[in-house]
Amino acid sequence: MSEIRVIGAGLAGCEAACMLADAGHKVVLFEQKPVHFSPAHHSEKFAELVCSNSFKADRVESASGLLKAEMRLLGSVCLKVADGCRVPAGGALAVDRELFSAGVTEEVRSRSNIEVVNEEVESIDPDIPTIIATGPLTEGGLAEEIRKLTGGDSLYFFDAAAPIVTRDSLNMDRLYSMSRYGLGGDDYLNAFFDKAGYEEFVEQLINAECAELHSFEEQPVYEGCMPIEKLAKRGHDAIRYGPMKPVGLRNPETGHRPWAAVQLRREDEEGTMFNLVGFQTNLKFSEQRRVFSMIPGLENAEFARYGVMHRNSFLNAPEVLDGTLRIKGTEMTYVAGQLSGTEGYMESAGCGMLAARFLMARLDGREPAALPETTMLGALMRYLKTPNKDFQPMGANMGILPGLKDEIRDKKERYAGYASRALSDLKAYLAENK
Ligand SMILES: Cc1cc2nc3c(=O)[nH]c(=O)nc-3n(C[C@H](O)[C@H](O)[C@H](O)COP(=O)(O)OP(=O)(O)OC[C@H]3O[C@@H](n4cnc5c(N)ncnc54)[C@H](O)[C@@H]3O)c2cc1C
């Protein structure tokens, strides 16, 4: 069996290393801690949770619950450990973070065919099968090496993203399809504010609570990436002359130009998700839900992804990965976890398992079989390979799954339908692809 290198003992790296080891491979797992810590990592243990201790909802009829159910079918080590150190958190799977990291570290160390090397890796040997899983704070020599391998401009270091909402959750009676000055057809969904509504919205926006920034994240942001709440604080009309400008738009009901407008742009080809144009934000997620639900038509909006402003290294996956998490132009260099363009703890861990499976298939001389796109993991992999000029990392959400054959109007029943289809398709896939 070939020796395989895994770089980074985070969530993705630990899942990948254990899966490879369990299949009989010799694994060398490189972890820079405790020699070197990123600004957000503090523990010597593996699979450190750098922020929240929640892995989100556990119900299989939710996007994160479905993702976890799929990962359990694939044999996730992180979830096995998580189940053993749960803390009460309503319908969510939250864990005691110390016990969780200790448990995953123990899982890794108990596998005799995993050798752990505490070293900061700065270069990649193209002749050795490797999975790079160094996470969103990858920096230094390794970041430079990844830049070289991926051809220059495809490794991003700062994430200033606007929220994305699912189309299913929008109230279409209050949104209008049109483009400014009628140019570009009906490309955008538009939400219109009158003066009173706009003033109330700005008032809530400027007083909403922001997420805490780490000192390493307090860097100047490009003017074009200014958080909407910061721009709004410059003056009451500032965003009406910026992202909420109403020029070139006419409310078909009044025949007049609205006082202010929010444009929603398609995020994917099918139009299942829309982003709020120019609304990059650092508000807390709960505040985004509260304040942005004041936008007409977004009263019950479901957020496929919240806006974020944080340091986050990730690759422009559709450009530089080949659809199986391998860097294009390389034989055996794979990327997993947040660095590959997935977003979230469990998404990173799940991605680690997939990178291991894809790499093992190639070492066996087989072309890796793609996961069904009806599964959450398969849909995430599809997202990573679909060309997207504004590519941003993506977490599990129902908006990325293909619709059901028969439309189900009730959301709860529809989500249950997505879940049962995903799990039965994944079981069939696993029966065929050991
Ligand atoms: C500040 C911050 C807060 C976040 N909060 C959340 C949250 O609350 N919930 C959520 O779901 N997601 C959150 N995320 C996003 C993401 O889910 C996590 O970052 C997740 O830990 C990513 O998993 P990973 O395995 O890809 O990387 P990581 O868990 O970061 O693991 C990477 C590992 O690689 C090691 N490493 C790095 N460089 C090298 C090198 N050159 N050589 C050797 N080892 C190296 C690191 O020490 C680390 O152990 C957050 C991200 C950041 C940056």
Task: Enumerate the domain spans of the chain.
Answer: 3-159+310-432, 164-306
pLDDT of residue 217: 59
Count of Cβ atoms closer than 10 Å to residue 274 Cβ: 25
pLDDT band at 1 (very low <50, low <70, confident <90, very high): low
Instruction: Name the token pair of 310.
Output: 């944080």
Say whether 167 sits in a helix, a strand or coil: helix
Mean local confidence (pLDDT), 12-39: 96
DSSP string, 239-275: GGTTTT--TT---TTTSS--SEEEEEEE-STT--EEE
Q: Is the pLDDT of residue 219 over 60?
A: no
Q: Residue 186's pLDDT is what?
A: 79
Structure confidence at residue 84 (pLDDT): 94
Q: Is the CB of 393 under 6 A from ligand 1?
A: no
Q: Is the CB of 121 under 6 A from ligand 1?
A: yes
pLDDT tens digit string along 55-79?
Answer: 999 999 999 999 999 999 999 999 9
Residues 22-42: what's their mean pLDDT?
94
Indicate if ligand 1 lies below 6 Å from the C-beta of 8. yes
Q: Is the model more confident about 90 or about 421?
A: 421
Whole-angstrom distance, CA of residue 420 vs CA of residue 97: 31
Condensed to tens digits (0 to 9), the pLDDT of residues 323-332 reads 999 999 999 9
Question: Which stretches within 34-181 are classed as H helix?
Answer: 63-74, 77-84, 97-109, 140-150
**Does 32 sit in the ligand 1 pocket, CB within 6 Å?**
yes
Percent of the chain surpassing pLDDT 90: 76
Centroid of ligand 1 to alpha carbon of 135 (angstroms): 4
Question: Where are the strands (E) in 109-259, listed by range?
Answer: 114-118, 130-132, 155-161, 164-166, 176-178, 188-193
pLDDT given at position 208: 96
Distance 118 CA to ligand 1 centre (A): 17
**Mean local confidence (pLDDT), 399-415:** 91
Residue 216: its pLDDT value, please? 55
Residue 373's alpha-carbon distances to 225, 285, 391, 418, 421, in angstroms, are 32, 28, 19, 11, 11
Looking at the DSSP bridge assignments, the partners of residue 314 are 156
The reply to whether ligand 1 has any atom less than 6 angstroms from the CB of 388 is no
Q: How confident is the model at residue 305 (pLDDT cuts 50, 70, 90)?
A: confident
Its sign, for the CA torsion 182, 186, 187, 189, is positive
pLDDT reported for residue 179: 87
Phi then psi for 166, rounded to 5 degrees? -85, 145
Query: Which DSSP string corresponds to 19-72?
Result: HHHHTT-EEEEEE-TTT---TT---SSSS---S--EEEE--TTSHHHHHHHHHH
> For residue 119, how many C-alpha atoms fall within 13 Å in the half-sphere facing its CB?
11
> Considering the domain 3-159+310-432 in this protein, what is its CATH number?
3.50.50.60
pTM of the model: 0.82
**Amino acid 134: pLDDT:** 98
- Our CA angle for 399, 10, 166, nearest 5°, is 10
Mean pLDDT for all residues in the chain: 92
153-186 pLDDT, tens digit per residue, is 778 777 678 899 999 999 999 999 998 888 767 7
Alpha-carbon distance of 137 to 124, in angstroms, equals 18
Looking at the DSSP assignment, which residues form a beta bridge with residue 192?
A: 261
Q: For the ranges 33-37, 186-190, 199-203, 293-297, which has the lowest average pLDDT? A: 186-190
The alpha carbon of 338 and the centre of ligand 1 are apart by a number of angstroms equal to: 7
pLDDT of res. 185: 74
Q: How far is CA 154 from the centre of its chain?
A: 17
Contacts for 243 with CB less than 8 Å, ≥ 6 apart:
228, 231, 262, 263, 277, 278, 279
CA distances from 365 to 88, 315, 378 (A): 46, 27, 22
pLDDT (average), residues 97-113: 96
> 164-306 adopts what CATH topology?
Elongation Factor Tu (Ef-tu); domain 3 (2.40.30)
**Residue 51: CB within 6 Å of ligand 1?**
yes
Q: Of ligand 1's atoms, which has the minimum distance to the CA of residue 14?
A: 25
Q: What is the pLDDT of residue 152?
A: 75
**CA-based nearest residue to 36, from 155, 137, 147:** 137
pLDDT-above-70 percentage for the chain: 97
* Residue 403 token pair: 């619709």
**What is the gyration radius of the CA atoms in the chain, in angstroms?**
22
236-279 pLDDT, tens digit per residue, is 899 999 999 999 999 999 999 999 999 998 877 778 889 999 99
- Residues 220-233 have pLDDT tens digits of 554 556 899 999 99
Mean pLDDT of 301-321: 90
